[in-house]
Structure 1
Amino acid sequence: MTSRNLVRLFFSTLLLGGTATGIIGFFVRWDEFKPYFLNFQLIDIIMALFWLFGVGLIFSVLSQMGFAAYLTVHRFGLGIFKSLKLWNSVQVILILFVVFDLVYLRYTAFSKTGDSIVPYIALAIFVLASGLVVAYIKAKQTNKEAFIPAVFFMVVVTTLEWVPVLRVNEEGWVYLMLISLLICNAYQLLILHKLNEKSSLEKQQKSKLASPKIPKTKVNNPKQQKVKPSK
């Protein structure tokens, strides 16, 4: 990928993360911001929007760090296992393990006596379903081999990025960070191949412009040459 497209990916993901968090934050944390709208406190609404936008920038940076780390891990995985099928099998096992832990570990750590396990299962299913949808779109845009890696990234890597808030387990922050990360991760995953194609085209155009033009030499036609008569 060219440096220009890499910078474009960084800033577009940054802007997307800030904007998405700024909008979603008002819905997810409505109880906190509801008085601002009821009393039409415009200054407080704008300040809250800027604060949520800044938080979204942090979420976006975490998302991009996770994406860069996954691209590296994916290459290492292919190199270690020497087979795409075997590496995909390992990724499937890790996906199932993470989905199970999203239910079991959170339920054992934060549930109280009499609490239902259903909300914990529902959240894990939501993460898995989001990953499957994004992976399906990615596979349709590229090839079927991209499906499992896409699910792995959307489920496993998103969960790892999500850990700081999961440990606190504050409901508003849990959903706010999750949705923001899913949006940023899905965007990066779905636009990567387009930017790679664009970068390759730009490199080809530059190489054509940089290649020296070979001047055409005139080839003398022997039939047109005048033969001097011998004395």
Structure 2
Amino acid sequence: MNSRNIVRLFMTTLIIGGVTAGLAGFVARWDQFAPMFSSFDLGEILSTFVWMFGVGLIFSVISQAGYFAYLTVHRFGLGIFRSASLWNAVQLVLVIFVLFDLVYLRFITFAEGEGLGSYLGLAILLLIVGLIVAYFKMKQTNKQAFIPALFFMTVVTILEWVPVLRVNDESWIYFMLLPLLVCNAYQLLILNKLIERSQRELESKRASKQKSGKQAIRKGNKQKVKTK
């Protein structure tokens, strides 16, 4: 992928993360922000949105760092296991293990007379979103892409999410989760299109150079004929 499309991916993901966080923050923390909407304090609404937009930019950078780290780990995994199917099996085991830990560790750490349902529901939500995004990724490419996409959408998202999970503030949990999921899904689904666009741009440049080279040769031949 050329530098232009890398910058395009970075900037669009950055904006998507900021906007998603700005909107998700109002929903996740509605109890706190409802009074400003009831009084229609436009200045306070805009300033709050700008603040959450800025936090969303940070979430977006975390998402992008996680994505490029996973691409590196994925290449190492393919090299170590020397088989895409074996590496996919390892990733599937890790998906199950990490989702189990997401439920179990949070439950034994934070549950105080609460049932398992709320902790289990969060993991199920993450798994459903991961399955949906992985399905579309598979449709874009091939069947081998399903497990890596599911791994990225679940395991990597949870790793990116850890700072908020340790605090266990429900409003912040959803405030960070939604931008991470949207940014991760966007990067996963747009990457192939950007690679194809980069290849087309490269082929277009090559064709343009070949055309200009041929024109230069023809021009040189015509000048030789005139001198004769």
TM > 0.5 fold call: yes
Gaps of 5+ in 1: 218-231
Letter in 1 for 2:106: R
Q: Which residue of 1 aligns with 2:203?
A: 204
Q: Choose 26-35 or 207-216, whichever is displaced more.
A: 207-216
Q: Aligned with 1:115: secondary structure? A: coil
Cα drift, residue 40 of structure 1:
1.6
Q: Distance in 2 between matches of 1:198 and 1:95?
A: 32
Q: Distance in 1 between matches of 2:76 and 2:203?
A: 28
| Post-superposition offset of 1:42 | 1.4
CA distance, structure 1, for counterparts of residue 172 and residue 24 of structure 2: 11
Q: Does 1:42 align with 2:73?
A: no
Q: Which residue of structure 1 lines up, in the alignment, with residue 173 of structure 2?
A: 174
Higher relative contact order (CA 8 A, sep 6+): 2
Confirm whether residue 191 of structure 1 aligns to residue 173 of structure 2: no
Give the TM-score normalised by structure 1.
0.91
**Aligned position for 1:145:** 144
**Which of these two proteins has the greater Rg computed from alpha carbons?**
1
1:73-130 deviations in Å (ceiling 9; x for gaps): 0000000100001100100010000110010000001001x21001000100000110
For structure 2, the 5+ residue unaligned runs are: 222-228
1:168-222 superposed Cα distances (whole Å, 9 cap, x missing partner) = 00000001111110000000000000000000011111112223225498xxxxx
- Give SS of 2:92's match: helix
CA separation in 1, counterparts of 2:85 and 2:144? 9
Identify the residue that residue 158 of structure 2 maps to in structure 1. Answer: 159
Give the alignment's TM-score, normalised by structure 2.
0.93
Question: What is the DSSP-based 3-state SS (H/G/I as helix, E as strand, rest coil) of the residue aligned with 1:108?
Answer: helix
Equivalent residue letter for 1:148: I
RMSD: 1.3
Identity of aligned residues (%): 60
Do structure 1's residue 17 and structure 2's residue 17 form an aligned pair?
A: yes
| In 1: Cα distance, 2:141 partner to 2:92 partner | 20
Aligned residues: 217
